[in-house]
Chains A and B, each alone.
Chain A
Amino acid sequence: MYSEILLEHFRNPRNMGRMENPDGVGKVGNPACGDVMHIYIKVGKNASGQEVIEDIKFETFGCAAAIGTSSMVTELAKGKTLEEAEKISKEDVAEAVGGLPPIKMHCSLLATKGLRKAIEDYRSRKGKGDGGEGGEDSQHSQEG
């Protein structure tokens, strides 16, 4: 049912855990639906001065597909510019984990939503001159 890549990420998740003082947080999903992801990012600058995801971590409550795609999205996003990271699609994630059963496609969607939410949160904090919580997303109707 699951690909070897996905199971490998499920068993050995990359970038797993809570981040101290993140620059942005994306919280998506709902425990009632069985999937919740928290994505934490630290933003830095690369040599050409663009904002990049310097560090990224996740915490996930959910099935193997939810945990595996969370792990994969953090790998795909790490080191990318914010613009590049935002463009990671659910198809990119699903492909990177070696495909997902149709009923689990929403997990890859949730992972990309979590990442975008974290970037959005970073930008809104920056706009407000840092500080403040945010990135909550309680809408889950399409996310699982």
Chain B
Amino acid sequence: MRAYLDYASTTPLDERVLEEMLPWLKEEFANPTGIYSLSQRARQAVEGARERVAEFIGASPSEVVFTSSGTEACNLAIKGYALANRRQGNRIVVSAVEHMAVLEACRALEKHGFEVAVVGVDEHGCVKPEELEKAVTGETLLVVVQLASNEIGTIQNIRELAEVAHERGAAFFCDACIANGSVPVDVDALDVELLAMSAHKMYGPKGVGALYVAEGTRIEPLIHGGGQERGYRSGTENVPGIVGFGRACEIAAREMEAEGERIRRMRDRMVRRVMQEIEDVRLNGHPERRLPGNANFAIAYIEGESLVLELDFAGVSASTGSACTSPTLEPSHVLTAIGLSKAQAHGSLRVTLGRFTTEEEVEHFLEVLPGVVERLRRISPFKRGGEEYV
């Protein structure tokens, strides 16, 4: 039995998405820039997909720029906005729980004279409007907060936070890569100028993302060349990827609600069982305001990499915020931002469910987890009631 419980890392490609992509990988190979009919069909396919993606987030097609990934969309939003609007100020405010694509893009701007202020979060990972108010000074040109956390699943109140930014004359960029396809996204309701999306987090293909750029919002391109994507992103369009992304949005729009309910029920049952059956475990993230498929546990006295490896031997794919799996040997910045000690963060286990998760997979995970935890706890010098573990 294999249980894939790492949907936050990437989702399997939906068969229906693949079906729609196939012609564009085969006979319909033309470059959408050409003027002959073969090219025009590719152009239509790209524009059709743009309409689907736009509709999915309540935007106009002309406000959607396709990119090569969610990471590129985040980079384009932050660097592109900062470079185009630097006369408005040099300060960028970001939350402490952002994805590395956001944090590192901001860090890169520091080298170019921008100042980056990081706003902390509460114990559930929520950005508090009053904290944001303190950080957003008159010099601030952009505020960046994710819609939901890929690690702990916490969903932010973006509209409220965007209001804080707008009151002070700053624009708002929302990274919705992990939230898209799990919770409804409407750019007008959120009231944001920029929003990043990724196809492979919502049953589309890898290698394609999109940035929503509200009409009237100016950004500088990062990739220059033939002027594709209205000059915002040069490079021949990834036609099959874009077509797949469009189809993935269309499926999600129809199925997200019922699917979310089913996933949430499975997740809640799973969380209850884990909390009952394992001692000294806590659920990280917000108890209710979280993505339906996300569970993130801190399991005391053991380390996450060995936990994930043991689970893999038992047929379960899950992930951890432990340092031992990161190239920097630092534990997850998200888990330390919500107040976990480094030791607790090392013992984190992220289990994420999605469209194709079955009750049997969850059951299999629940069957093997206690034994795996028990075995690693036997090896660990830290025990219940011991004092050394912090």
Most buried by A among B322, B331, B381: B381
With a CB–CB cut-off of 8 A, which chain B residues contact A34? 303, 322-324, 329, 331, 342-343, 346
Pairwise interchain contact B390-A62, C-beta atoms closer than 8 A:
no
With a CB–CB cut-off of 8 A, which chain B residues contact A64? 305-306, 309
With a CB–CB cut-off of 8 A, which chain B residues contact A27? 381
The CA of A137 and the CA of B342, in the complex, are separated in Å by 18
Q: Is B2 an interface residue (CB 8 A)?
A: no
Q: Is B380 an interface residue (CB 8 A)?
A: yes
Segment among A9-17, A46-54, A80-88 that sits at the interface with chain B: A9-17
Pairwise interchain contact B346-A10, C-beta atoms closer than 8 A:
no
Chain A residue, CB-CB nearest to B343:
A31
The CA of A16 and the CA of B380, in the complex, are separated in Å by 9
| Given A34-B323, A67-B379, A11-B313 contact (CB < 8 Å) | yes
| Given A34-B329, A59-B381, A67-B323 contact (CB < 8 Å) | no
Chain B residue, CB-CB nearest to A71:
B379
Pairwise interchain contact A31-B342, C-beta atoms closer than 8 A:
yes
Chain B residues within 8 Å of chain A by Cβ, number = 26
**Residues in A1-60 with C-beta less than 8 Å from chain B:** 7, 10-11, 13, 16-18, 27, 31-38, 59-60
The CA of A16 and the CA of B303, in the complex, are separated in Å by 17
Chain A nearest CB: distance from B178 CB in Å? Answer: 25
With a CB–CB cut-off of 8 A, which chain B residues contact A103? 327, 329
Interface membership of chain B positions 308-341, coded 1 if the CB is closer than 8 angstroms to chain A and 0 otherwise:
0100010000000011110101010000000001
Q: Is A144 an interface residue (CB 8 A)?
A: yes
| Given A16-B379, A34-B346, A63-B329 contact (CB < 8 Å) | no
Most buried by A among B324, B327, B331, B341: B324
Complex partner residue of B379 from A32, A59, A65, CB under 8 angstroms: A59
Complex partner residue of A61 from B301, B323, B329, B331, CB under 8 angstroms: B301
Chain B nearest CB: distance from A144 CB in Å? Answer: 7
Pairwise interchain contact A61-B327, C-beta atoms closer than 8 A:
no
The CA of A144 and the CA of B324, in the complex, are separated in Å by 9
Chain A nearest CB: distance from B298 CB in Å? Answer: 13
With a CB–CB cut-off of 8 A, which chain B residues contact A61? 301-303, 379-382, 389
Pairwise interchain contact A33-B306, C-beta atoms closer than 8 A:
no
Pairwise interchain contact B322-A10, C-beta atoms closer than 8 A:
no
With a CB–CB cut-off of 8 A, which chain B residues contact A18? 381
With a CB–CB cut-off of 8 A, which chain A residues contact B301? 61
Q: Is B388 an interface residue (CB 8 A)?
A: yes
Pairwise interchain contact A38-B381, C-beta atoms closer than 8 A:
yes
Chain A nearest CB: distance from B278 CB in Å? Answer: 17
Q: Is B265 an interface residue (CB 8 A)?
A: no
The CA of A32 and the CA of B380, in the complex, are separated in Å by 14
With a CB–CB cut-off of 8 A, which chain B residues contact A35? 303, 324
Complex partner residue of B378 from A16, A33, A66, CB under 8 angstroms: A16
**Residues in B257-305 with C-beta less than 8 Å from chain A:** 301-303, 305
Chain B nearest CB: distance from A132 CB in Å? Answer: 18
**Residues in B361-379 with C-beta less than 8 Å from chain A:** 378-379
The CA of A31 and the CA of B380, in the complex, are separated in Å by 11
Chain A residue, CB-CB nearest to B326:
A103
The CA of A35 and the CA of B343, in the complex, are separated in Å by 9
The CA of A29 and the CA of B282, in the complex, are separated in Å by 25
The CA of A39 and the CA of B303, in the complex, are separated in Å by 18
**Residues in B169-199 with C-beta less than 8 Å from chain A:** none
Pairwise interchain contact B382-A62, C-beta atoms closer than 8 A:
no
With a CB–CB cut-off of 8 A, which chain B residues contact A33? 323, 329, 342
Chain B nearest CB: distance from A63 CB in Å? Answer: 4
Chain B nearest CB: distance from A67 CB in Å? Answer: 6
With a CB–CB cut-off of 8 A, which chain A residues contact B309? 7, 10, 64
The CA of A38 and the CA of B108, in the complex, are separated in Å by 41
6 A-B pairs in the complex with CB atoms less than 8 angstroms apart: A13-B379, A31-B390, A38-B381, A61-B389, A63-B325, A64-B309
Please give 17 more A-B residue pairs, beta carbons under 8 A apart, in addition to A60-B379, A61-B380, A63-B324: A11-B313, A16-B378, A16-B379, A31-B346, A32-B341, A34-B303, A34-B323, A34-B331, A34-B346, A35-B324, A36-B381, A59-B380, A61-B382, A62-B324, A63-B305, A64-B305, A66-B324
